Amino acid sequence: MALRHLTPLSPFTTLTRRLPSFPTLSSTTSRRYNRFSFSVMASASRKVLVPIANGTEPMEAVITIDVLRRAGADVTVASVEKQLRVDACHGVKIVADALISDCVDTVFDLISLPGGMPGASTLKDNNTLENIVKKQASEGRLYAAICASPAVALGSWGLLKGLKATCYPAFMEQLSSSATTVDSRVQQDGKAITSRGPGTTMEYSVTLVEQLFGKEKANEVSGPLFMNPKQTDQFIVTELNKLQWTCASTPKILVPIADGSEEMEAVMIIDVLRRAKAEVIVASVGDDLEIVASRKVKLVADMLLDEAAKLSYDLIVLPGGLGGAQAFAKSETLVNLLKKQRELDRYYGAICASPALVLEPHGLLEGKKATAFPAMCEKLTDKSEVESRVVVDGKVVTSRGPGTSLEFSLAIVEKLLGHEKALEIEVVEESVSNLLAYHSQVRKIKRELEKLNHLAVIEQSEMRSVLREFSKSQKHCRLPLRISDRPRSIAMAGREETARGGGDIRGLS
């Protein structure tokens, strides 16, 4: 058995990898003021607006909707296009609940803008949405944005003026003209909440829950998500019977979905694999292309399963969700596809309820170690690895739930397309905790150097005088450092003096 520590953005070493983290709320959310919360009953409903557009980042939209609905929020998904269906990034198709024009007269407790391009620009250019959000801010209610939208939309509307905010790294310069930029994964200042990108969406969403319903509800909701409980950005993928996965240069992957599928898991799998340039076929296990997922997000498949079954695949991967997994288990077509996949010695995997409800009862985990959603692990014959977040056993990969979906997807990318491709996707997925810390440290060091150089300029006349006096008293003693008549930086002085054979400035206090 091999335990592979995954550590983002580190150089490639024997068994070291990096995957994105989902730190707990307390360690990742920065606030400028004393935190406030609403004292409400757990069942109290809060109205939330999540606008979407063509080019919206689907993970950011769907995770936010899912998590807020788990908390009991009344979430309206509103299209700013002329029709309800939007074509989000990476070919994910989402059907909204309403048009934005239908929402003008509704008072919302929170408005949350997903990112993605050109989706964020489309949101920014929609006058109806702009007026709704400006009214939200002026009346002192919560408003939030993630990824490109803090800079592209909120910043452009003047709603972050004088506030601390964060966004997707590529838009930080643009954001700096309309807000005080910070490197936090989630940043709250007053009624404005901002976050960085897909890899921070889950903790961003839990932050929104906390502000709507309180800390207790946020903890209640985050538990079943199976977010990373450790204060670290390292994950361990357990790999047994290790072998090299091989496939065509462009792997073909089937992702079935059904009514009741867990939308976060489905969308993260589809999104990440398509980012990796895999050919992903999303097939509906039902009579219609449109399915209603477990938290009532409406997704549209590429084709029906009967049509998809005519094709062959390098990998079949099942999202979870109780209703969806039950539908998968009852689908003779899908079960036969999975059995054929095993017979042909090809790859398959599942997450959440699906390992226990689909793979296990049909003998597809025979001789394999696996994991599943905690409440379902009793159904697994071999429970020796149920505590692992991601398990790869030969040609079978399994994982636990929504909070492990991103690393599950990246583990698949790594197995099919290699470590470098997984790292490439990681950076896009905003698994940049160490990178953010690195840049913060660089800025801190630069500030300290600027202070030192400033002091050096001020004190050079005094230093020159002291060294000259020392030279007079020690005629045969070589000066440790030459001070020029023109002020220079400490670093430059050190380099020049070293080149001349003089002393090292680091020896001076």
The CB-based long-range contact list for 452-461 (8 Å cut-off, 24+ gap) reads: 452/490, 453/489, 453/490, 456/487, 456/489, 456/490, 456/493, 457/487, 460/487
CA–CA separation, 472 vs 484, rounded Å? 18
DSSP conformational letter for 483? P
CA–CA separation, 145 vs 423, rounded Å? 26
Query: Which tokens go with 238?
Result: 């357990």
Residue 134 near residue 157 (C-beta atoms within 8 A): yes
Residue 119 near residue 76 (C-beta atoms within 8 A): no
Residue 160 near residue 152 (C-beta atoms within 8 A): no
DSSP conformational letter for 231? S
CA–CA separation, 14 vs 4, rounded Å? 9
Active site residue 352: yes
Residue 399 near residue 390 (C-beta atoms within 8 A): yes
| DSSP string for 106-122 | ---SEEEE---TTHHHH
**Quick one: which of 282, 284, 334 has its CA closest to 304?**
284
Beta-carbon contacts of residue 454 (< 8 Å; ≥ 6 apart)? none
Among residues 247, 352, 377, 477, the one annotated as catalytic is 352
CA–CA separation, 77 vs 95, rounded Å? 8
Q: Known catalytic residues? A: 352
